[in-house]
């Protein structure tokens, strides 16, 4: 399992040819408590940079972008009833979508944990 981060404050936990995507703790703190999460349907094919979800807090609405090319496999069913789960556990139970990678070479353009920590410092 390898963890990657984007400049848009998303994380990507890669396991084989699939990955779980969510927002970072930093992003969750900036947004505040989430009140709504809407994701793309399973089976949706997306390109890197394309919106895969929208999260809405009392402060703002933000798009969540596909870190790499792929296909949405699943979304977190708990978020429809409890969107605040993203705020309380953004890098764990608050994951947003599961994703099949179609171009794993794109992972090289993402940051590791140390690079992300330096990015937000």
Q: What is the pTM of this model?
A: 0.91
Best CA proximity match to 116, nearest among 12, 25, 7, 21? 7
In a domain, 108, yes or no: no
Distance of CA 85 to the CA centre of its chain: 13
In a domain, 111, yes or no: no
Residues in the chain: 121
Supply 7's token pair: 């400049």
In a domain, 54, yes or no: yes
In a domain, 114, yes or no: no
In a domain, 110, yes or no: no
Domain that holds residue 92: 2-103
Amino acid 64: pLDDT:
95
Q: How confident is the model at residue 105 (pLDDT cuts 50, 70, 90)?
A: very high
Domain count, the chain: 1
The two most distant CA atoms of the chain are separated, in Å, by 37
In a domain, 115, yes or no: no
In a domain, 34, yes or no: yes
């Amino acid at each position: 399992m390898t963890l990657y981060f984007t400049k848009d404050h998303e994380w990507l936990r890669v396991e084989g040819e699939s990955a779980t995507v969510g927002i970072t703790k930093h992003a969750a703190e900036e947004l505040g408590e989430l009140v709504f999460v809407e994701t793309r349907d399973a089976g949706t094919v997306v390109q890197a940079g394309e919106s895969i979800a929208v999260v809405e807090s009392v402060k703002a609405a933000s798009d969540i972008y596909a870190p790499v090319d792929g296909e949405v496999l699943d979304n977190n069913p708990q978020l429809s009833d409890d969107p605040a789960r993203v705020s309380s556990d953004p890098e764990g139970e608050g994951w947003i979508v599961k994703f099949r990678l179609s171009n794993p070479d794109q992972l090289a353009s993402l940051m590791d944990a140390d690079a992300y920590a330096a990015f937000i410092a």
